[in-house]
Structure 1
């Protein structure tokens, strides 16, 4: 759980920094119990600092920010939450230490659970959106709140995954369609499970390539769902019929739930560029590495935000 009080006047957002403390949190929201067309946002009170803020906390060793965000929400609020779009990162100095703390924030919808006071949080409020800013203790949290309010909160999510590492196409002597994951690729596939579940993954489909299917098989097993095969979303299928493949991707996105699509490096960048151009979204820079994920936020059948996760594996950091 979080244990550092931020300095209220010296923070930065979305800038390259060399932080040495890493944390994750969320703007936790729900539909208002009294009006389903309005939302409420959760704020927590920490008696140690007598402040009101969003739930957040430090990453455990070997943990990613995404997994940490969901865990911290549960530990501090008792709520199981489903992440949506990434909002921003905030960096600030820790008073009394020569350290910088970096906190990544997501939008997160409350799914189940209820608050009970605990060692770090003695009170939680659900507030209408227009009353949240005045209750927050820190200006940087108000910056995060403004990012949250820029788009509708009630978006649906599509998770577009590039297959994990599967060795070299040139060095593989068999049928390339059957080329399997290598050892690191299998580790990546296993690591994708909690990452994608944090966003509420519910259904799984894959291009008809062994390496694609193997990438999402651990997730499908965890969810007890089949891997649906989508030939149009292979490199060959996409090249032969890009319009059909794009239409198929959009139909999958409209199926409901949180759809996971696993495809290849020759498909994903072009598909995302077309989708973003069509719906007027600016894509963030991305290298589209093996086992990377695009988190696509949809509203009213249109793409409204796209976030990129470079790797499901935790970042190895030097000891402080």
Structure 2
């Protein structure tokens, strides 16, 4: 659900159903819901967006009797939010920014009005701190060299590639990683595609992690005012999450906890597993 400064929300009109709703669409085969959310908004409105806090999943019965589930996030436009040049087509024939107080009347469905009401408290722009566990690595028992040099396996490399659009969806512009090879390899595809800088820290490695070092880095990232990813190891995750002030969660290899924050205050968090 895309909003902009000034209290407006983006709505689309579908001529096939003669309804007003939020931009949405279907998953491509193998596509992550986060990636689909950004892609569908771009395809339906021409706008490039980045995601904020997640909203409740809509579940409703369609005219054919089948149930449908739709995942939503709040979102903000990156770049121009001008839709005056939108070209109508058979799927979407109108895209409009609508004042918040008018949107509830314009929307066709009650479940969209519920989503609109849910989004209001979290509609203001926030930043994301993505806590990322490195991808699947070679087994510790089968590695005879320095453990800091233990690399990803083929699955881990594929996971690293699939992380690229997910990190981009949350407007990550700074990459902070353990200096261990398996963490560096996990975020390198994102750095290669985007060109954003990467900083390496012994303090995020299993061997060099300290509570003081982790707390200092987390505090700096929450105050920095930019989207960031922090890639580390399973044993270090509890220290990172405690420093942020969120409950401990279990992340699979290449899993991430997305922490949405504003002015140093955590607003919401969500777990995205590979």
Q: How far is 1:89 from its partner?
A: 1.0
Aligned residues: 270
Return the offset for 1:270: 3.6
Q: Which residue of 1 aligns with 2:17?
A: 49
Q: 2:27 aligns with which of 59, 65, 74?
A: 59
Instruction: Note the alpha carbon deviations across 1:23-49, whole angstroms, 9 max, x for none.
Output: xxxx11122xxxxxx231101111111
Give unpaired runs (5+ residues) of structure 1: 1-26, 32-37, 278-282, 312-320
- Is 2:223–2:263's contact at 8 Å kept on the other side of the alignment? no
- The reply on whether 1:263 has 2:270 as its aligned counterpart is no
Once residues 4 and 158 of structure 2 are traced to their aligned partners in structure 1, the CA distance between those partners, rounded to angstroms, is 34
What aligned pairs does 1:175-194 form with structure 2 within 5 A after superposition? 175-194=146-165
- Residue 163 (structure 1) aligned with residue 134 (structure 2): yes
Long gaps (5+) in structure 2: none
Q: Is the 8 A contact 2:214 2:243 kept in 1?
A: no
Offset, 1:208: 1.2
2:135 touches 2:183 (CA, 8 Å); kept in 1?
yes
Distance 1:203 1:81 in 2: 18
- 8 Å Cα contact 1:203/1:220 also seen in 2: no
Q: Note if contact 2:222-2:263 (Cα within 8 Å) is conserved in structure 1.
A: no
**Mapping of residues 138-287 of structure 1, within 5 Å:** 138-238=109-209, 241-276=210-245, 283=247, 286-287=249-250
TM-score (norm 2): 0.92
Residue 2 of structure 2: SS of its match in structure 1? strand
Moved over 6 A (4+): none
Contact 1:56 1:69 in 2 (8 A): yes
Query: CA separation in 2, counterparts of 1:46 and 1:296?
Result: 34
> What do the CA deviations read for 1:174-216 (whole angstroms, capped 9, x no partner)?
1100000000000000000011111122121101110000000
What is the deviation of 1:286? 4.3
What SS class does the counterpart of residue 251 from structure 1 fall into?
helix
Mapping 1:286-301, distance limit 5 Å: 286-301=249-264
**Structure 2: how far apart are the matches of 1:87 and 1:149?**
11
Query: Offset of 1:291 from its aligned partner?
Result: 0.2
Q: 2:266 aligns with which of 303, 311, 316?
A: 303
Contact 2:225-2:263 at 8 Å conserved across structures: no
Q: Deviations over 1:77-136 (max 9, x none)?
A: 111111111112112222224x32211101110123533322211112212223222221
Shift of 1:233: 1.9
